[in-house]
């Protein structure tokens, strides 16, 4: 990777985002902009404290103003971003529980999943636009999930998560078309990280076939290597960790 690469990782306090931040450091990123809702309280902040090459920013996908403010702070420090990786996401917490049946549908949970999983990444793109424009190499990626594929949905359930990830995919696909006008060297893509051992997957790991659960390091290695291979020709795609396209 170029020594001059400027990288933003949304959701770098833990999980896959933190492992991606470690990959960026290993790859000699020029400057890392890392976000979390409460940065100083995260493992990421303890592992990779603020310094000349690392800036932490508070960002909550439920608060669009915080995304705009983080974007302004990043743009005040650089006019060129080379890699933006949106890693925030929610599947189950105090507001949302993966629905097993129609009777479990909850309007608040549907809206919440949409806000965290779909609007967060596209609002970040909007907030960063001035540093995405130009002709510099740019890879804007968002971590989606295979279950967000509409055509691959054979099992049902998980309405809010599936729908919010499908929305994320559509928002990124739409962004890829507009971004081609602003930066000919841009690739905008959504990525499936595999089933990864994080807090998000913890409640569901008993269903994972033996050998099917990746460590965060393993997933981040594969995703980082995929980012190194993606080109503007791949823009608008939805890819698994191994580079195989996933149908929408």
Ligand X SMILES: NC(=O)c1ccc[n+]([C@@H]2O[C@H](COP(=O)([O-])OP(=O)(O)OC[C@H]3O[C@@H](n4cnc5c(N)ncnc54)[C@H](OP(=O)(O)O)[C@@H]3O)[C@@H](O)[C@H]2O)c1
For binding to ligand X (CB under 6 A), which residues are involved? 11, 13-17, 36-37, 42, 60-62, 87-90, 116, 120, 143, 145, 192-193, 195-196, 198-201
Cβ of residue 248: shortest distance to ligand X, in angstroms?
Answer: 16
C-beta of 47 vs 134, nearer to ligand X: 47
Cβ of residue 183: shortest distance to ligand X, in angstroms?
Answer: 24
User: Is-contact 182 80, C-beta < 8 A?
Assistant: no
C-beta of 183 vs 198, nearer to ligand X: 198
C-beta of 137 vs 239, nearer to ligand X: 239
Q: Which residues contact 163 (CB under 8 A, 6 or more apart)?
A: 110, 113, 114
C-beta of 137 vs 226, nearer to ligand X: 226
Per the DSSP assignment, residues forming a β-bridge with 186 are 138
Cβ of residue 89: shortest distance to ligand X, in angstroms?
Answer: 2
Cα separation of 94 and 136, whole Å?
41
C-beta of 13 vs 232, nearer to ligand X: 13
How far is residue 180 from each of residues 118, 232, 244, measured CA to CA in Å?
21, 8, 22
How far is residue 81 from each of residues 7, 30, 94, 95, 115, measured CA to CA in Å?
6, 10, 35, 34, 24
Cβ of residue 181: shortest distance to ligand X, in angstroms?
Answer: 27
Cα separation of 228 and 66, whole Å?
30
Q: Which residues contact 81 (CB under 8 A, 6 or more apart)?
A: 6, 7, 8, 74, 128, 131, 132, 138
C-beta of 81 vs 191, nearer to ligand X: 191
Cβ of residue 185: shortest distance to ligand X, in angstroms?
Answer: 26
Cβ of residue 5: shortest distance to ligand X, in angstroms?
Answer: 21
Q: Give first-to-last CA distance, the chain, whole Å.
A: 30
Cα separation of 102 and 129, whole Å?
39
C-beta of 121 vs 232, nearer to ligand X: 121
Cβ of residue 73: shortest distance to ligand X, in angstroms?
Answer: 16
- The pair of structure tokens assigned to 69 is 């403010």
């Amino acid at each position: 990777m170029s020594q001059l690469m400027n990288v933003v990782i949304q959701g770098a306090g833990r999980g896959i985002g933190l492992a991606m931040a470690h990959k960026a450091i290993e790859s000699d990123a020029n400057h890392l902009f890392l976000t979390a809702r409460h940065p100083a309280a995260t493992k990421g902040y303890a592992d990779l404290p603020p310094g000349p090459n690392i800036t932490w920013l508070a960002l909550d996908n439920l608060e669009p103003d915080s995304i705009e403010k983080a974007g302004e702070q990043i743009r005040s420090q650089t006019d060129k971003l080379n890699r933006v990786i949106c890693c925030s996401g929610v599947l189950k917490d105090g507001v949302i529980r993966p629905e097993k049946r129609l009777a479990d549908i909850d309007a608040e949970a549907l809206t919440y999943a949409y806000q965290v999983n779909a609007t967060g990444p596209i609002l970040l793109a909007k907030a960063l636009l001035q540093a995405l424009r130009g002709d510099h190499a740019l890879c804007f990626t968002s971590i989606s999930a295979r279950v967000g594929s509409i055509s691959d949905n054979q099992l049902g359930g998980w309405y809010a998560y599936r729908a919010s990830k499908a929305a994320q995919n559509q928002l990124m696909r739409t962004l890829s078309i507009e971004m081609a006008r602003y930066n000919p060297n841009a690739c905008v893509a959504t990525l499936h990280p595999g089933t990864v051992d994080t807090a998000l997957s913890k409640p569901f790991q008993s269903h994972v076939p033996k050998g099917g659960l990746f460590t965060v390091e393993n997933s981040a290695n594969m995703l980082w290597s995929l980012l190194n291979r993606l080109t503007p020709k791949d823009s608008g795609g939805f890819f698994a960790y191994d580079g195989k396209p996933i149908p929408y």
